[in-house]
Structure 1
């Protein structure tokens, strides 16, 4: 299972109204560290699909979302729970570090 793309049009339905926590990966094509994190997030999505949803927002294509959630550097990840930002993670990290940051949602 890979992280699916979400747009300004689908964000509310897929993220804010989700029954389970949703990690939103804010990224862009030109961002090298974003490309390093992407396969790690896909692995976490596959291994934990019943506990957390993982989606991607391209900041170049969805600038209003990037502005609304104050994304100033990427990769930036935010975990939404019940429509609110519960956790923020900035920067590329190896899988064990990301899993540690997400432990509350993966257990």
Structure 2
């Protein structure tokens, strides 16, 4: 899957309440850690689910372009990666720790 930018608060709410696990990269163009971790996030979105995992969706939110979403989720650190499953915030990573990001995706992509 290609990482898609979320363009509105309404779209954000619809996406996180879907049936698939959703991973969102909250980032800023001016942030060096964001620019370093974004390609890894994109690469993860292109990987096929491993055995026992479900297909997941990957999105980005530019914190400067979407202040309503940032406020709703209370983003204070960039990048922040958040996992949602059926509308529930189930995990997050603050900062560009790609090892923890891999673990977050693996943990919340498990077939129920």
Instruction: Provide, for residues 52-86 of structure 1, a one-character-per-residue CA deviation record: whole Å limited to 9, x for no partner.
Output: 11100011010011111110111001101111111
Q: TM-score, normalised by structure 2?
A: 0.83
Structure 1 runs of 4+ with >6 Å offset? none
Displacement of 1:2 in angstroms is: 2.9
Paired residues in the alignment total 105
Equivalent residue runs for 1:24-103 within 5 Å: 24-48=24-48, 51-94=55-98, 96-103=99-106
Gaps of 5+ in 1: none
Gaps of 5+ in 2: none
| SS of match in other structure, 1:79 | strand
Aligned to 1:22: 22
Displacement of 1:104 in angstroms is: 1.4
Pairwise CA RMSD = 1.7
Report if the CA contact (8 A) 1:2-1:43 is conserved: no
